[in-house]
Amino acid sequence: MSAIIRYMSESSGKAAPSIRARVRAEMVDEIKRVARERLAEEGAALSLRAVARDMGMVSSALYRYFPSRDDLLTTLILDAYNSMGEASERGDATVRDRRDLFGRFLATGHAIRDWAVERPHEYALVYGSPVPRYKAPTDTIEPSTRPYAVFAMILADGMAAATARGDGGSGDAGAGAADSGDAVAEAAAGPAFADPPLTDRLAGELHQASMGLNVGPSEGMTGAPPPSGDTPMGPPPVLIARTFAVFTQLFGAISFELFGRLNNVISDRREWYDWQLRSMAAYLGLSPLK
């Protein structure tokens, strides 16, 4: 993939894009569009020749645009991740009142499913069985985390709001919060629910992963200034664990639907997904604004 980008920028040069470069870019888009259509027929066994055929070109012509079939596939994967990421971000952004964390969670969750339902084969490409013999380059990792980052941001905003209200909700609202019956801590850590104990190692890795999502509270969430300096503290481990469990559940639900496990079982898939989303929101301690 990076090879293509280099190729393209070389040919377009540093000046304003020439006509040729613009036509070329359109051509690349068209190839990707047709290739995405082919995904429906062939899945990850996408064939260059079939794409060329659909475009009314000879197969060797595609090599002007992509150095190999695998490179085209990588591009599609990268695009899919970014497209899903953007859909998540747009979903979150539709909620006007940024303090409405419950609404944002729901909007983001539905945006991801809507995205997937509209392009099931792209979803399968990135969330289905790994393609045998295909090794995704490492630059697909970061785009793949964009949807998670949106959720992390929503929860970080929740933590920040709780802190601003003096709720606690950071450090001390740890694994014990759910057991303590402390309603105040619950507001940040979720409703009474007995979390299983987390090993230190697991808590550490989850913490590490949540840091990798690179989110602090978004701007303009609270009137209060951000807590001075001590950000490395982060949310309580159990909340991170719940969040990652929710990621699993959310994508599990989409995969169940798109991979056929609801066939002849549930007809209104959106409704069922919505129920699950709301259940996850409750699990995360999010509730509608009063």
Partner DNA sequence: TGTACATCAGTGAACGCGCGTTCACTGATGTAC
Residues found near DNA in the complex (CB under 7 A)? 11, 18-20, 23-24, 27, 46-50, 53, 56-61, 63-65, 68-70
First to last CA, the chain: 48
As given in the structure block, the two tokens for residue 167 are: 């709720």
Task: Please classify residue 44 by burial: count the beta carbons closer than 10 Å to its beta carbon, then call 0-12 exposed, 13-18 middle and 19+ buried.
Answer: middle
Contact criterion met (CB below 8 Å) for 156 and 227: no
Q: Which is nearer to a second copy, 16 or 183 (CB)?
A: 183
Residue 128 binds what, of DNA, a second copy, none (CB under 5 to 8 Å, by partner type)? a second copy
- CA distance linking residue 195 with residue 217, whole number of Å: 25
Residue 256 binds what, of DNA, a second copy, none (CB under 5 to 8 Å, by partner type)? a second copy
- The label of the residue with tokens 């496990």 reads 261
Size of the site for a second copy (CB under 8 A): 58
Q: Which is nearer to DNA, 72 or 188 (CB)?
A: 72
Indicate if the alpha-carbon torsion angle 194, 200, 202, 204 is positive or negative. Answer: positive
**Could you tell me the maximum CA-CA distance found in the chain, to the nearest angstrom?**
69
Q: Which is nearer to DNA, 23 or 202 (CB)?
A: 23
Residue at 272: amino acid letter: W
As given in the structure block, the two tokens for residue 22 are: 């613009």
Residue 27 binds what, of a second copy, DNA, none (CB under 5 to 8 Å, by partner type)? DNA
Task: Please classify residue 178 by burial: count the beta carbons closer than 10 Å to its beta carbon, then call 0-12 exposed, 13-18 middle and 19+ buried.
Answer: buried
Kindly tell me which residue out of 131, 164, 175, 184 binds a second copy, with binding defined by CB under 8 A.
131
Q: Write out the binding residues for a second copy, residues 204-223 only, by CB under 8 A.
A: 205-206, 209
253 lies in the binding site for a second copy (CB under 8 A)? yes
175 lies in the binding site for a second copy (CB under 8 A)? no
Contact criterion met (CB below 8 Å) for 89 and 51: no
Q: Which is nearer to DNA, 70 or 182 (CB)?
A: 70
Least spacing, CB of residue 121 vs DNA, in Å = 16
Q: Which is nearer to a second copy, 154 or 206 (CB)?
A: 206
Residue 60 binds what, of a second copy, DNA, none (CB under 5 to 8 Å, by partner type)? DNA
228 lies in the binding site for a second copy (CB under 8 A)? no
Q: Which is nearer to DNA, 61 or 224 (CB)?
A: 61
166 backbone φψ class: left, alpha, beta (φ>0; ψ -120 to 50): left
- The label of the residue with tokens 């070329």 reads 24
Smallest CA-to-CA distance from 189 within 181, 200, 178 is with: 178
Q: Please report, as ranges, the residues that interact with a second copy according to CB under 8 A.
A: 40-45, 124-125, 127-133, 141, 191-196, 198-199, 201-202, 205-206, 209, 241-242, 245, 247-249, 251-253, 255-256, 259-261, 264-268, 271-272, 274-276, 278-279, 282-283, 287
